[in-house]
Structure 1
Amino acid sequence: MSIYEYETKLFDSWIGKREGFVVDGVVSEEHYISSPLKLCFVLKEVNDEGGGGWDLRQFVRDGARSHTWNNISRWVKCISIFDQDVSWSELADITEEDRKDTLKSICAMNLKKSPGGHTTIKASFNEVVTEDKEYIHKQYSLYSPDITVCCGTGWEFRWALDLDKTEVYETSRGVKWFLNSEGKAVIMFAHPAARVQDSLLVYGLADAVREIMHNKAFKTDSQRLAFSV
């Protein structure tokens, strides 16, 4: 079966448990599979006071919106050529067409499938992650990403994957990360719409990815985990 078919099968068993369920995942399977670096972004929930019940994948295919998705587009542009510097002049102006073209190769999943408001209520969010832990784990296992970026969800996602006892590494600039069960990096970073200057958010992650990809611990431990599977 295709990734989309696996997603559909999983969501069919999950959707009745969450009012206003918003499906998510791989934006374009063709582009995700062919991408040199498969990227997965793990967010908290969609902001939709209208009640949800729609498809995040289609929303992103249609160009999404600048809030949140401009910075994710910038991240993708930088990470895809992580060994090269990208000047801010190349990233500053992101159009709807830029988002459509750049984001088609990603996977984006929310831990909480029911919509929330502008600010996540942490107690409610944690309760849902606990209840849906098995589903979250199953969904992530469909994607085998090369790099996963947790957008303010790092500790919760690590717990949902039953990796809360594994080592957490730290870059020289203080960005935390760990290895998933396939030995691939999962980076614990900020939400793309955090109240921080865009350039700092963008280059903060780009810098972390570059260091992690050259980190001896990452190379050694990821290879060890890969061969033990």
Structure 2
Amino acid sequence: MNIKKTPGGHTTNVKALVKDSSLGKTFLERQFRLYFDNAHLKPDCIIACGTQTSRIFQNLVPFLKNENWGQTTRGVYYNEYEKGKFFIEYAHPEARVADNILYYGLIDAVRELKLKKSD
């Protein structure tokens, strides 16, 4: 899902993102419900790409409880919003970080959370 329905770049204009997402709030909630309310489609992991995007998403589609936030051993923030279901706050793919660092950091976090899920 994209919060902003128009193309962007590696740097977020937060004011524009908040404005665009507010205009599409009803549509985004409906789109999210297609996945979240269907047990067969409900994702094990939701990955929010970018801190600002994560915060905006949480305001638009509230489902996370503040007390369920944690960090992986390498510092990736996540929220276990249901048993074995995780919302992960991670860097955007266009971040000015080497692709391999982004990839392996995310894979490492997901692997750790999958192990937590099986506990």
> After TM superposition, is the score higher than 0.5?
yes
Alignment partner, residue 39 of structure 2: none
Q: Deviations over 1:25-76 (max 9, x none)?
A: xxxxxxxxxxxxxxxxxxxxxxxxxxxxxxxxxxxxxxxxxxxxxxxxxxxx
Indicate if the aligned counterparts of 2:79 and 2:87 stay in contact, CA closer than 8 A: yes
Answering whether residue 77 of structure 2 is matched by residue 176 of structure 1, we say yes
The correspondence for 2:48, drawn from 150, 153, 172, is 150
Q: Which secondary structure does the structure 2 equivalent of 1:214 belong to?
A: helix
Question: Matched residues in 2 for 1:179 and 1:110: separation?
Answer: 21
Question: Matched residues in 1 for 2:80 and 2:23: separation?
Answer: 24
Looking at CA atoms only, which structure, 1 or 2, has the larger radius of gyration?
A: 1
Q: How does 1:4-15 map to 2 (within 5 A)?
A: none
Shift of 1:123: 0.6
Shift of 1:179: 3.3
Question: Matched residues in 1 for 2:104 and 2:10: separation?
Answer: 25
Normalized per residue, the structure richer in strand is 2
Answering whether residue 113 of structure 2 is matched by residue 201 of structure 1, we say no
**Alignment RMSD:** 2.4
Q: Which amino acid aligns with 1:157?
A: F
Shift of 1:134: 2.7
Q: Which amino acid aligns with 1:134?
A: T
Q: How does 1:1-229 map to 2 (within 5 A)?
A: 109-116=1-8, 119-143=11-35, 144-152=42-50, 153-163=53-63, 165-166=65-66, 167-180=68-81, 184-215=85-116
Question: Matched residues in 2 for 1:128 and 1:174: separation?
Answer: 30
Question: Matched residues in 1 for 2:95 and 2:80: separation?
Answer: 24
- What 5-or-longer segments of structure 1 have no aligned partner? 1-108, 221-229
Cα distance change, pair 219–133 in 1 and its aligned pair in 2 (3 A):
farther
Q: Paired residues, what number?
A: 110
Shift of 1:118: 5.3
Cα distance change, pair 188–211 in 1 and its aligned pair in 2 (3 A):
same
Question: Matched residues in 2 for 1:121 and 1:110: separation?
Answer: 15
Q: Deviations over 1:63-119 (max 9, x none)?
A: xxxxxxxxxxxxxxxxxxxxxxxxxxxxxxxxxxxxxxxxxxxxxx21011334553
Question: Matched residues in 2 for 1:134 and 1:179: separation?
Answer: 24
